[in-house]
Amino acid sequence: MAVAVYKKNLGITTDNISESSMPNCSAENETPFLLKYGPIIIRPRQRPAPTIATGRRSKTVQLSPNETVRRDIRRVHNRAAQAKAAIKRQHIEDTLKVHIELLEKQSDYLVRDINALESQKSHLITLLAAHELTCEKHKTILEFEKYLNNCDQSDFMDLHFFRTHDYLTLDDLRNNIWNFIISSTDGSHMDTLDNF
């Protein structure tokens, strides 16, 4: 809405505003101007309120000497507390920055380690695949697994199998095939298989 300003000392009026419609318009209590917001006529205060909406006093209010001293002391304390809080906040921020940098470096190291381990893993898989083609023990393991798959459980009930177990089952042989191969490095395992 448009705001209309009417200055009494210039005698500017409208049809809606008359001298009789303005209450308390005496010479000693005369307002310098009126504000109109739509149908509402407002007379501004001559003196500011002692406190504003935030609860603080207006800067134009005259204070007593004691209140002025207390206000100055309070301002000094507030500035000191603000400086102390700023230093503490800056210290916390610097500590967090150092911690973040440390974690980022640690993350970079871990990523490098993971990449190196992945590369080493692929290299070892390649070596193992190449070794399986020429390894005699690997061929023996495959032959032994074929032999175990063709046997019944009853064939192994009373078998004394080197030093690994006193009595073996077919599952024991499958689970301990590496013990069988490693414990017989001279190739005598094939003779043992022939004795089955």
Domain ranges of the chain: 3-42, 55-133, 135-195
pLDDT tens by residue, 6-39: 444 444 344 444 444 444 444 445 545 777 778 8
pTM metric for this prediction: 0.37
pLDDT tens by residue, 161-192: 444 444 455 566 556 655 555 554 444 444 44
What's the pLDDT at 40?
83
pLDDT tens by residue, 88-125: 999 999 999 999 999 999 999 999 999 999 999 999 99
DSSP assignment of the chain equals --EEEE-GGGT---SS--GGGSTT--STT--S-EEEETTEEE---SS--SB-TTSPBPTTSPPPHHHHHHHHHHHHHHHHHHHHHHHHHHHHHHHHHHHHHHHHHHHHHHHHHHHHHHHHHHHHHHHHHHHHHH-HHHHHHHHHHHHHHHS-GGGGTT--BTTTBSS--HHHHHHTHHHHHHH-TTSHHHHHHHH-
Q: Which residue has the higher pLDDT, 71 or 179?
A: 71
